[in-house]
């Protein structure tokens, strides 16, 4: 059973470009979470999604950031008009959502904005 | 707003020694997690503590949870170099809904075990 998959693993964007980060949850998992980790810091929650629904986006910046988890395909975190402060590691986690309490983390996407 | 604090932030210890990392959180929660992160890597789940008084052990690591004190500890016994990593605790505020919700992470404890 493959774990949580994220791609790309490394992404370099110039200021003003768009970044798209993808996350495929573990098989059988229907809940996806996105977290951001700035250098030398802990992870900060961004958004929690189920298929076709955003459940909690309280950690998402109000502008430039959006997330989706369509009926088919991976979850996508989209950052428009990136700035240097967006440089971070973005981790995706998934869970079954029901009964199981544990979140399983993907390898992360390291975004560098130049 | 839930706050999760760990101490120490950095810990340098010799092989063979024992030490404890502390994790305090500010509001009631019955679910606490410990993760390990190696540099440039993802998070590896170590322990899930689901109730007051829970104690779990794996190898040289033992975690406990006191929900009344809002405190969890990660105890390291006879440390070895391979334990060098950053350790995070995280709190889940979903209550008894049976579904996982967002995790609030502590600041992390960077552990360095020297020979």
How would residue B47 be classed by pLDDT, with cut points 50, 70 and 90?
Answer: very high
Note whether A38 and A88 are within 8 A (CB). Answer: yes
Q: Is B66 exposed, middle or buried (0-12, 13-18, 19+ CB in 10 A)?
A: middle
Average pLDDT of chain B is 90
Assess B2–A contact: CB distance below 8 Å, yes or no.
Answer: no
Note whether B43 contacts A91, CB cutoff 8 Å: yes
Closest CA to B105 of A88, A45, A110: A45
Assess A104–B contact: CB distance below 8 Å, yes or no.
Answer: yes
Assess B92–A contact: CB distance below 8 Å, yes or no.
Answer: yes
pLDDT of residue A39: 83
Q: Which residues pair with B27 in a beta bridge?
A: none
Residues 93-112 of B with CB under 8 A from A: 94, 98-108
Name every residue whose Cβ is closer than 8 Å to that of residue A113 and which is 6 or more positions away in sequence. A12, A13, A14, A15, A82, A83, A84, A85, A86, A87
pLDDT of residue A13: 98
pLDDT of residue A1: 54
Assess A41–B contact: CB distance below 8 Å, yes or no.
Answer: yes
pLDDT surpassing 80 at residue B108: yes
């Amino acid at each position: 059973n493959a774990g949580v998959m994220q791609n790309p693993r490394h992404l370099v964007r110039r200021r003003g470009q768009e970044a798209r980060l993808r996350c495929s949850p573990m098989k059988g998992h229907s809940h996806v979470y996105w977290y951001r980790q700035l250098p030398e810091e802990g992870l900060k929650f961004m958004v929690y999604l189920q298929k076709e629904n955003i459940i909690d986006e309280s950690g998402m910046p109000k502008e430039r950031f959006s997330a989706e988890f369509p009926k088919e395909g991976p979850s996508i975190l989209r950052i428009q008009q990136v700035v240097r402060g967006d440089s971070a590691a973005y981790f995706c986690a998934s869970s079954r959502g029901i009964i199981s309490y544990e979140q399983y983390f993907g390898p992360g996407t390291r975004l560098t904005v130049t | 707003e839930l706050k999760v604090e760990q101490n120490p932030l950095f810990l340098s210890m010799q092989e063979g020694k024992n030490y404890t990392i502390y994790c305090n959180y500010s509001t009631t929660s019955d679910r606490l997690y410990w993760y390990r992160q190696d540099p440039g890597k993802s998070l590896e789940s170590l322990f899930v503590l689901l109730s007051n008084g829970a104690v779990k052990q794996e190898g040289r690591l033992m975690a406990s949870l006191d929900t009344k004190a809002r405190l969890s500890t990660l105890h390291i016994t006879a440390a070895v170099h391979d334990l060098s990593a950053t350790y995070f605790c995280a709190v889940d505020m979903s209550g008894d809904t049976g579904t996982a919700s967002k995790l609030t992470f502590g600041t992390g404890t960077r552990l360095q075990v020297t020979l």
